[in-house]
């Protein structure tokens, strides 16, 4: 089994750790690649997330051989057997530690941004990485965590060579590894998407993890609003957490509405990430009786552009789009004439219903999310992706059908959407153009 990306790996790892939900547990991610995986684990377990910055202390003439490790708070772990066997003098130990301590301080400053580390004393600590090759860093991490007073250590990774988990049971109380192939190769070989994680993403995920969910007072007492367009008033559900940097307008598919439980689920996840949401009915009840209106993407796009204008006027915030089924085509049609749209996410969408000319004009970064078992729609999305000239990506959710009713698949959609929107909160364009009001 190969993982789609680190989000997918994190969700699958969280399923394996479900038994820890509701306990006194803290999740620590090893930077950089372990943080996106750990973020999903912490979110699903409703546990705090922190970064675990460790530095191995390598024998000067054989750096890959660790004679100890250091961590935050002056934690210092020595392997006396290695020190004795290698003959590392106290002066050599001090020189190595001084160098590694300086790098540790730099990384902690970059990732933690002044926040204190999560207390570990007496708690269950889940140490997460995106995979292990030799296990050396994980060994050092577990030693450091033990030195900080953890009562129980669970080392959790998506993949590692078959010989590694048993060896690591010497430093961890439990090792959870989803895949232990005998022909390992490399960690990256077990991911379809293994893009490098940079320091900015690590910092953003850590900051997002500590942001509290919106309080009831952050949202309108009555989330039902009406948006004017084309001489009619469109029913919508509106939520705006305090300090939201952007708002996501939802365009539902045929036969769906602002009451869609799937889109409400996604919207709630976006609200927890601090984003505003507008779940919009693009047609009135009378208009829905004419099936032709459901597939009139020009009409739907016009209504969506009007909603974007309304949101900008009401909130002063930039707008992104989330579309499902036919609503995805409406999002692309609307964005083709509005370079102010920050990003687009399509869930099981029909982007093929937008013309080739429309797709070529879209400038907003676009994420197409399709279930692996939704084969016909997957083929249509691949064709549409080939016609997009903007930044875009096709994400396939393993084991999902068109409506993402399978266990964990809608959570995967929500995570993909949240990460896409929050990573595209600004546009590189120096100037953008907005359409004239509809």
Residues 134 and 16 in one domain: yes
Q: Are 221 and 199 contained in the same domain? A: no
CA 234 remoteness from chain centre: 31
User: What's the pLDDT at 213?
Assistant: 45
> What average pLDDT score do residues 370-384 get?
95
Q: Give the pLDDT confidence score for residue 255 in this predicted structure.
A: 62
Average pLDDT estimate for 402-416? 87
Contact 342, 322 (CB under 8 A): no
DSSP calls for 244-305: -S-EEEEE--TT--TT-HHHHHHHHHHHHTT-EEEEE-SS-HHHHTSHHHHT-HHHHHHHHH
The helix/strand count (H/E) of the chain reads as: 15, 16
Residue 249 burial class via C-beta count within 10 angstroms: exposed 0-12, middle 13-18, buried 19 and up? buried
pLDDT (0 to 100) of residue 221:
46
pLDDT band, residue 66 (cuts 50/70/90): confident
Check residue 434 and give its pLDDT.
Answer: 45
How far apart are alpha carbons 150 and 140 in whole angstroms?
14
Residue 429 within a domain: no
Q: What is the pLDDT of residue 214?
A: 45
Question: Residue 313: which pLDDT band, with cuts at 50, 70 and 90?
Answer: very high
Residues 232 and 297 in one domain: yes
Q: What was the pLDDT predicted at 52?
A: 92
Q: Tell me the C-alpha distance between 174 and 128, whole Å.
A: 12
Cα–Cα dist 328/256, whole Å? 13
Residue 114 — φ and ψ, nearest 5°?
85, -5
Q: What tens digit of pLDDT does each residue of 175-232 get?
A: 999 999 888 888 889 998 888 888 888 888 888 777 544 443 344 444 789 998 888 8
pLDDT tens per residue, range 136-159: 788 888 988 998 899 999 999 999
The CA dihedral of 38, 44, 45, 50, to the nearest 10 degrees, is 30
Smallest CA-to-CA distance from 402 within 259, 256, 221, 291 is with: 256
Q: Burial of 308 by CB count in 10 Å (0-12 exposed, 13-18 middle, 19+ buried)?
A: buried
Write down which residue in 193, 210, 227 finishes a domain. 210
> Can the peptide bond before residue 286 be classed as cis, meaning omega within 30 degrees of 0?
no
Over residues 100-114, mean pLDDT: 86
**Residue 437 forms part of a structural domain:** no
- Is 411 inside a domain boundary? yes
Examine residue 334 and state whether it is found in any structural domain, yes or no: yes
Report the distance separating Cα 31 and Cα 49, nearest Å: 12
pLDDT at residue 215 in the model: 43
- Do 313 and 378 lie in a common domain? yes
Using CA atoms, how far residue 239 sits from 36, 215, 218, 230, in Å, is 26, 11, 8, 23
Question: Quick one: 43 and 124 in the same domain?
Answer: yes
Which residues make Cβ contacts (< 8 Å) with residue 14, sequence separation at least 6?
Answer: 40, 41, 43, 44, 45
Residue 62's DSSP bridge partners are 59
pLDDT at 430 (0 to 100): 34
* Total domains in the fold of the chain: 2
What residues contact 164, with CB distance under 8 A and at least 6 apart? Answer: 132, 134, 135, 177, 180
Asked if residue 87 and residue 199 are part of one domain, the reply reads: yes
In this prediction, residues 411-433 reach a mean pLDDT of 76
Lowest mean pLDDT among 100-114, 161-175, 254-268, 372-386: 254-268
**Residue with more model confidence, 256 or 416:** 416
Do 262 and 144 fall within a single domain?
A: no
CATH of the domain at 260: 3.40.50.1820
CB 324 within 8 A of CB 262: yes
The pLDDT-based confidence of 6 (bands split at 50, 70, 90) is confident
The last residue of a domain, from among 210, 228, 250 = 210
Q: What are the beta bridge partners of residue 396?
A: 370
**Host H or E run for residue 130:** none
Span 431-438, mean pLDDT?
42
Same domain membership, residue 298 and residue 172: no
pLDDT digits (tens, 9 = 90+) for 337-371: 898 999 999 999 999 999 999 999 999 999 999 99
Q: Which domain holds residue 353?
A: 216-422
Report the DSSP beta bridge partners of residue 234: 227
**261 domain residue, yes or no:** yes
The residue whose two tokens read 């879209």 is 362
> What gap in Å lies between CA 356 and CA 335, rounded to an integer?
14
Please state, in angstroms and rounded to a whole number, the distance separating the CA atoms of residues 140 and 53.
10
Over range 39-67, report the average pLDDT: 86
Residue 433 has pLDDT above 50, yes or no: no
Domain end, chosen from 186, 210, 234, is at: 210
- 438 located within any domain: no
Average pLDDT over residues 403-425: 88
Same domain for 265 and 190, yes or no, is: no
- Cα(8)–Cα(416) distance, integer angstroms: 9
Residue listed under structure tokens 């429309």: 358
pLDDT at 294: 65
Distance CA 53, CA 50 (A): 10
> Domain check: are 403 and 295 in the same one?
yes
Is there a single domain that holds both residue 103 and residue 223?
A: no
252 and 380 co-located in one domain: yes
**pLDDT for residue 254:** 65
- Out of 68-82, 146-160, 178-192, 374-388, pick the least confident: 68-82
**What local confidence, expressed as pLDDT, does residue 217 receive?**
39
In a domain, 433, yes or no: no
Average predicted confidence (pLDDT) for the chain = 86
Assigned domain for 436 exists: no
- Asked if 276 and 244 touch (Cβ cutoff 8 Å), the reply is yes
Give Cα 405 to chain centroid, integer Å: 20
Q: Tell me the CATH number at 47.
A: 3.40.50.2020
């Amino acid at each position: 089994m190969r993982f789609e990306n680190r989000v997918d790996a994190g969700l699958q790892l969280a399923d394996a750790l479900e038994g820890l939900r509701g306990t006194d547990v803290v999740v620590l991610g090893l930077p950089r690649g372990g943080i996106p995986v750990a973020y999903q684990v912490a979110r699903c377990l409703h546990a705090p997330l922190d970064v675990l910055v460790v530095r191995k202390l390598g024998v000067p003439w054989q750096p890959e051989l660790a004679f100890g490790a250091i961590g935050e708070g002056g934690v210092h772990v020595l392997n006396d057997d290695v020190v004795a066997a290698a003959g590392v003098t106290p002066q050599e130990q001090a020189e190595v530690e001084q160098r590694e301590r300086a790098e540790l301080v730099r990384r902690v400053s970059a990732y933690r941004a002044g926040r204190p580390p999560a207390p570990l004393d007496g708690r269950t600590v889940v140490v997460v990485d995106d995979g292990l090759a030799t296990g050396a860093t994980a060994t050092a991490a577990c030693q450091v965590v033990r030195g900080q007073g953890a009562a129980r250590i669970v080392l959790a990774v998506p993949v590692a060579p078959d010989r590694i988990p048993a060896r690591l049971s010497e430093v961890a109380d439990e090792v959870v590894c989803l895949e232990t192939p005998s022909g390992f190769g490399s960690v990256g070989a077990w991911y379809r998407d293994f893009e490098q994680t940079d320091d900015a993403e690590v910092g953003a995920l850590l900051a997002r993890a500590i942001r509290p969910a919106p309080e009831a007072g952050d949202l309108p007492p009555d989330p039902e609003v009406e948006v004017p367009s084309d001489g009619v008033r469109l029913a919508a559900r509106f939520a705006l957490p305090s300090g939201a940097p952007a708002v996501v307008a939802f365009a539902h598919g045929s036969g769906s509405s602002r009451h869609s439980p799937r889109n409400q689920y996604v919207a709630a996840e976006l609200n927890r990430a601090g984003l505003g949401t507008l779940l919009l009915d693009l047609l009135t009840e009378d208009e829905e009786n004419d099936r032709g209106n459901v597939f009139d993407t020009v009409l739907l796009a016009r209504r969506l552009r009007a909603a974007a204008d309304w949101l900008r006027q009401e909130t002063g915030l930039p707008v992104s789009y989330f579309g499902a089924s036919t609503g995805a085509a409406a999002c692309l049609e609307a964005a083709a004439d509005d370079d102010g749209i920050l990003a687009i996410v399509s869930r099981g969408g029909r982007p093929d219903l937008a013309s080739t000319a429309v797709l070529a004009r879209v400038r907003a970064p676009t994420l197409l999310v399709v279930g692996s078992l939704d084969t016909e729609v997957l083929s249509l999305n691949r064709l549409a992706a080939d016609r997009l000239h903007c930044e875009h990506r096709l994400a396939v959710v393993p084991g999902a059908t068109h409506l993402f009713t399978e266990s964990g698949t809608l959570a995967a959609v929500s995570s993909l959407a949240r990460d896409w929107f929050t990573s595209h909160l600004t546009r590189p364009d120096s100037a953008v153009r907005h359409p004239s009001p509809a």
